């Protein structure tokens, strides 16, 4: 199962302040990766990616960007793990979709296919 690119999605209180903080650590905004005005921003430092999300997430989340989130969704559903949430598009054949599960300790994991 190819989980794709991995990143940490951080729930932040002040995206501008968080952006400044992570830029000090060497992170740079990814082209077409959101903006401070949109209240979400993807940043990278080498192979490390983080997402900053103001007012959008229930907490910090591990994020995977697979090429086929629907196949992973089907496998997880058959394994009878709880699906915390799923986009309305998860049942469609193509396009962007996402779903979220929780591990046994309650840590949230987002599978987000955006192509």
Q: CA 81, CA 98: separation in Å to the nearest integer?
A: 16
* Domain span at 89: 5-113
Query: pLDDT at residue 105 above 90?
Result: no
Structural domains counted in the chain:
1
Stated pTM of the model: 0.83
Q: What is the CATH number of the domain that holds 20?
A: 3.10.180.10
DSSP string, 2-64: ---EEEEEEEES-HHHHHHHHHHTT-EEEEEEEETTTTEEEEEETTEEEEEEESS-SS-EEEE
Overall average pLDDT of the 29-54 stretch: 96
Average pLDDT, integer, range 53-60: 93
């Amino acid at each position: 199962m190819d989980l794709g690119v991995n990143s940490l999605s951080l729930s932040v209180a002040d995206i501008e302040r968080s952006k400044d903080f992570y830029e000090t650590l060497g992170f740079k905004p990814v082209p077409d990766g959101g903006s401070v005005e949109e209240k979400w921003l993807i940043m990278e430092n080498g192979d490390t990616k983080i997402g900053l999300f103001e007012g959008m997430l229930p907490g910090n989340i591990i994020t995977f960007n697979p090429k086929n989130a629907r196949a992973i969704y089907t496998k997880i559903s058959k394994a009878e793990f709880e699906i915390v949430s799923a986009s309305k598009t998860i049942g469609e054949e193509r396009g962007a979709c996402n779903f979220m599960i929780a591990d046994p300790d309650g840590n949230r994991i987002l599978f987000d296919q955006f192509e």
